[in-house]
Amino acid sequence: MQPQNLHLDYSLVEAILIPFIRNEIRKFGFGSVVLGLSGGIDSAVVCELAVRALGAQNVLALLMPYKTSSQESIDHAQLMVERLGIRAEVTPVSEVVDAFFATRPDASRLRRGNVMARSRMLCLYDVSARDGCLVLGTSNKTELMLGYGTMFGDMASAVNPIGDLYKTQLFGLARHLGIPAPLIDKPPSADLWEGQSDEADLGFSYDAVDRLLYMMLEERMDRDAILAEGIDPAFYQRVRSMVVRNQYKRMMPVIAKLSSRTPGIDFRYARDWQEVR
Ligand SMILES: Nc1ncnc2c1ncn2[C@@H]1O[C@H](COP(=O)(O)OP(=O)(O)OC[C@H]2O[C@@H]([n+]3cccc(C(=O)O)c3)[C@H](O)[C@@H]2O)[C@@H](O)[C@H]1O
Ligand SMILES: Nc1ncnc2c1ncn2[C@@H]1O[C@H](COP(=O)(O)OP(=O)(O)OP(=O)(O)O)[C@@H](O)[C@H]1O
Ligand SMILES: [Mg+2]
């Protein structure tokens, strides 16, 4: 498999995603969106696309730093706000998160990170109720496949335009859209604790894992064919087990089937199932 196979015609991607956002937001009578703008590349790309789809006046960015969030992240989020001329609100999550852990002082870094992500989700959904808008999602395909995100936290949204794009492709789309270089050039980080980096957390690079995921998913190659491409067997096994282990993050909760039409099992109409009057 050639690494260039991963790359897409980003003009075409843009041409698909802009009407996608417009249609998926407007078909229920909504006209505007809110999203968490972190200063990272994923939310910058989603924000840029949303402005192109709906207009700057219809996009609200929430900047939700925790007290350890880096100043650079905040600056980069501000850079996007200025570039796009959108409305922005700063709603730090430090007090909420710290109040929660005041009675749980021994909680691990993982638990703290998840509560941080879920506190941001609280803010986003509260604003969506306040303003009558929808929450735009920013989880990319690599994160969704690996389960590298907090369920009901940063993974929660109404509409996610980038969930079928690998991180490597996000970089390509960001360049195509003209996202400022400082956001593209820095290492991706969940920014949940000081100095965190996705690639250090995961123990492999996005280039390597996207190449492997592409062979597993798009090219449907089996283990032998993938190893013949020079992929390390331990790396293959690790990624495969992450994909399998985190399947639940990509599904509805399991529902005990008691009737002939169970939500999510036999009742699987599309989100826009027409109301019969
Ligand atoms: N088989 C199963 N079926 C259904 N539910 C299952 C389950 N196994 C666990 N669970 C449940 O899921 C929970 C674990 O999932 P979850 O709570 O999501 O948390 P978890 O997967 O443990 O951690 C989240 C991961 O995402 C990373 N993250 C978080 C936030 C942002 C970013 C970023 O890149 O910005 C990255 C974070 O560093 C960490 O590696 C368990 O505590 C359990 O309740
Ligand atoms: N400080 C923050 N303020 C607002 N939203 C945030 C903040 N931190 C995280 N988020 C939200 O959580 C999402 C998940 O973070 P994640 O790090 O995966 O994406 P990113 O920061 O946009 O890009 P990158 O992965 O390159 O850092 C973000 O896209 C954003 O919507
Ligand atoms: Mg980030």
Q: Is the CB of 137 under 6 A from ligand 2?
A: no
**Tens digit of each residue's pLDDT (9 = 90 or more) over 32-57:** 999 999 999 999 999 999 999 999 99
> Is residue 138 within 8 Å of 64, Cβ to Cβ?
no
Q: Is the CB of 191 under 6 A from ligand 1?
A: no
* DSSP-derived 3-state class of residue 159: strand
Predicted complex ipTM exceeds 0.90: yes
Q: What is the pLDDT of residue 271?
A: 78
Mean pLDDT of the chain: 95
**pLDDT for residue 3 is more than 70:** no
Per-residue confidence band for 5, with pLDDT thresholds at 50, 70 and 90: confident
**pLDDT for residue 215 is more than 70:** yes
Q: What is the pLDDT of residue 277?
A: 62
Query: What is the mean predicted confidence (pLDDT) over 195-202?
Result: 90
Distance 152 CA to ligand 1 centre (A): 9
Q: What is the pLDDT of residue 272?
A: 75
Q: What is the pLDDT of residue 264?
A: 85
**pLDDT for residue 60 is more than 80:** yes
Q: Which residue lies with its CA nearest to atom 5 of ligand 1?
A: 248
**Tens digit of each residue's pLDDT (9 = 90 or more) over 112-144:** 999 999 999 999 999 999 999 999 999 999 999
Amino acid code (one letter) for 95: E
- Return the percentage of the chain with pLDDT > 90, whole number: 89
**Tens digit of each residue's pLDDT (9 = 90 or more) over 150-169:** 999 999 999 999 999 999 99
Positions at the binding site for Mg(2+)? 42, 143
**pLDDT for residue 183 is more than 70:** yes
Domain 8-193, architecture per CATH? 3-Layer(aba) Sandwich (3.40)
C-beta atoms surrounding 142 within 10 Å: 21
What does the buried/exposed string (b/e) look like for 208-218 if buried means 16 or more CB atoms within 10 Å of the residue's CB? bbbbbbbbbee
Alpha carbon 47 to its chain centroid, in Å, reads: 12
> Of the bound ligands, which one is closest to the alpha carbon of residue 140?
2
**pLDDT for residue 1 is more than 60:** no
**pLDDT for residue 90 is more than 80:** yes
**pLDDT for residue 24 is more than 70:** yes
Query: What is the mean predicted confidence (pLDDT) over 79-103?
Result: 98
Query: What is the mean predicted confidence (pLDDT) over 251-265?
Result: 92
> Is residue 47 within 8 Å of 59, Cβ to Cβ?
yes
C-beta atoms surrounding 105 within 10 Å: 6
Query: What is the mean predicted confidence (pLDDT) over 95-99?
Result: 98
